[in-house]
C-alpha cells in the first residue's frame, strides 16, 4: 500500500520566494518522510494559471495532486497545509478533499492543520520569531494577509501572545482583514514611536510584501509610515524560510500521520 504526502500552499508566482519558502519545506518533508511520495499542490487557481501561461510551469491544484497519487497507486494520503490560518483557503482545501473522498472511497486522506490552529501553535510561533533588541521608541509591525473569514481574529490573538512574550510595541496589521495600518498608526503616535520595523507575516514574501508593504509607491505601508514621520526598516523574508516555523508545519504533519 503506497503512502503519499501533498504539501498544499496558496502558492506564489515569484520564483525566488517560492524556492525559499515553499520548496524548502517540500524538500525538508521529503528528507524527513523518506518512505512517502511527496507532491506539491497549490490552492490558488489564479497562481496556477499565471505560472502556466507566463512560465510554462505546471502545478497541480489539490484535487489534481490527489488524482496523481491515485494514478501512482497510492491509497493513503496525508496533506500538510502551509496556510497561516484556518480561513477560506484552508476550508477550500478541506472541501476539495471531502469531494475527492466521496468518489474514491478506497483512498484515505487526512489533512494537517495550518500554522495557527490551537494555543500551542501561537506559543510556538512566538518562540520561533524572536523579537530581539527592540529599543525605546521602536516598534515592530507585522503585515498579515487578513480575511473576511472569522479566523481573521487569529492575528489579534497572536499579537497578544507576542506582547506577552516580548513587548507592548508589537503590532499585527493586515492587508484584507479587520485591523489595517490605519488602525495602527494612531497607536504608534500615542506611544511616541519613532522607528518601525516592518516584517511580513506571510508564508512567502510575494506580491503583498514586495509591493503593498515595502514598495516605493505612495500607498505602500513603508511610504505611508514615512509620510507620517517614522523611520522604517524593512524585512523581506517569508515565514517559510524560518526553520523554526517549518518545525511547526512538520509537527502538524507528524500529528496527523501518527493519529
142-163 confidence digits (pLDDT tens): 999 999 999 999 999 999 999 9
Grid coordinates of 240: 517559510
Domains of the chain (ranges, CATH numbers): 2-116+242-258 (3.40.50.1400), 130-238 (3.40.50.1400)
Known catalytic residues? 145
Question: Which of 60, 42, 15 lies closest to 205, judged by CA?
Answer: 15
Contact (Cβ atoms closer than 8 angstroms) between residue 116 and residue 158 = yes
Q: How confident is the model at residue 133 (pLDDT cuts 50, 70, 90)?
A: confident
Extract the C-alpha cell encoding 91: 476550508
Q: Is pLDDT above 60 for 8?
A: yes
Cα 43 from Cα 47, distance rounded (Å)? 9
Longest CA pairwise span in the chain (Å): 62
Question: Does the pLDDT at position 132 exceed 60?
Answer: yes
Residues 6+ apart with CB under 8 A from 226: 232
Strand pairing class (2-9; 37-42): parallel
- Indicate the SS3 state at residue 198: strand
pLDDT digits (tens, 9 = 90+) for 18-39: 999 999 999 999 999 999 999 9
State the Cα–Cα distance between residues 164 and 183, nearest whole angstrom: 20
| Contact of 223 with 1, CB cutoff 8 Å | no
Q: Residue 212: its pLDDT value, please?
A: 97
Segment 72-128, tens digit of pLDDT: 999 999 999 999 999 999 999 999 999 999 999 999 999 999 999 999 999 999 999
49 is in an annotated binding site: no
Q: What is the mean pLDDT of the chain?
A: 97
| DSSP string computed for 69-86 | HHHTTEEEEEEEE--SSS
pLDDT at residue 31, rounded to an integer? 97
Phi-psi region of 126 (alpha: psi -120 to 50; beta: other; left: phi over 0): alpha
Roughly how many angstroms between the first and final C-alpha of the chain, as a whole number?
18
Residue 25 labeled ligand binder: no
Classify residue 57 by its DSSP letter: -
* pLDDT beyond 70 at 41: yes
Strand order from edge to edge, sheet including 231-234: 170-174, 138-144, 195-200, 231-234
Mean pLDDT along residues 206-217 = 95
H-assigned helices in the chain? 15-18, 24-32, 45-55, 62-71, 88-103, 119-128, 153-165, 181-190, 207, 221-227, 243-258
Predicted local confidence at residue 44, as pLDDT: 96
pLDDT-derived band at 1 (thresholds 50, 70, 90) equals low
Tens of pLDDT, residue by residue over 233-256, are 999 999 999 999 999 999 999 999
| Predicted local confidence at residue 92, as pLDDT | 96
pLDDT exceeds cutoff 90 at 203: yes
Region of poorest pLDDT, from 53-57, 103-107, 129-133, 239-243: 129-133
What pLDDT score does 250 carry? Answer: 98
- In our burial notation (b when 16+ CB lie closer than 10 A, e otherwise), range 1-19 reads eebbbbbbbbbbbbeebbe
Check if the beta carbon of residue 66 is closer than 8 Å to that of residue 33.
Answer: no
- Angstrom CA distances, 212 to 77, 256, 258, stand at 37, 35, 40
Amino acid at each position: 500500500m503506497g503512502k503519499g504526502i501533498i504539501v498544499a500552499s496558496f502558492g506564489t508566482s515569484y520564483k525566488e520566494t517560492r524556492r525559499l519558502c515553499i520548496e524548502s519545506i517540500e524538500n525538508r518533508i521529503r528528507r524527513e518522510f523518506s518512505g512517502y511520495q511527496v507532491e506539491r499542490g497549490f490552492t490558488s487557481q489564479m497562481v496556477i494559471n499565471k505560472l502556466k501561461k507566463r512560465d510554462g510551469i505546471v502545478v497541480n491544484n489539490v484535487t489534481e495532486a490527489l488524482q496523481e497519487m491515485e494514478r501512482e497507486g497510492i491509497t493513503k494520503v496525508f496533506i500538510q497545509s502551509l496556510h497561516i490560518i484556518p480561513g477560506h483557503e484552508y476550508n477550500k482545501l478541506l472541501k476539495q478533499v471531502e469531494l475527492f473522498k466521496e468518489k474514491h472511497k478506497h483512498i484515505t486522506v487526512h489533512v494537517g492543520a495550518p500554522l495557527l490552529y490551537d494555543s500551542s501553535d501561537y506559543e510556538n510561533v512566538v518562540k520561533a520569531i524572536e523579537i530581539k533588541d527592540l529599543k525605546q521608541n521602536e516598534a515592530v509591525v507585522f503585515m498579515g494577509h487578513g480575511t473576511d473569514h472569522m479566523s481573521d481574529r487569529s492575528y489579534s490573538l497572536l499579537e497578544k501572545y507576542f506582547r506577552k512574550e516580548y513587548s507592548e510595541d508589537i503590532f499585527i496589521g493586515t492587508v484584507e482583514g479587520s485591523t489595517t495600518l490605519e488602525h495602527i498608526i494612531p497607536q504608534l503616535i500615542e506611544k511616541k514611536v519613532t522607528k518601525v520595523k516592518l516584517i511580513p507575516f506571510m508564508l512567502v514574501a510575494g506580491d503583498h510584501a514586495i509591493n503593498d508593504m515595502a514598495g516605493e509607491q505612495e500607498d505602500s505601508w513603508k511610504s505611508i509610515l514615512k509620510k507620517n514621520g517614522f523611520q522604517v526598516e524593512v524585512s523581506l523574508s517569508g515565514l517559510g524560510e524560518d526553520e523554526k516555523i517549518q518545525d511547526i508545519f512538520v509537527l502538524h504533519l507528524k500529528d496527523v500521520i501518527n493519529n
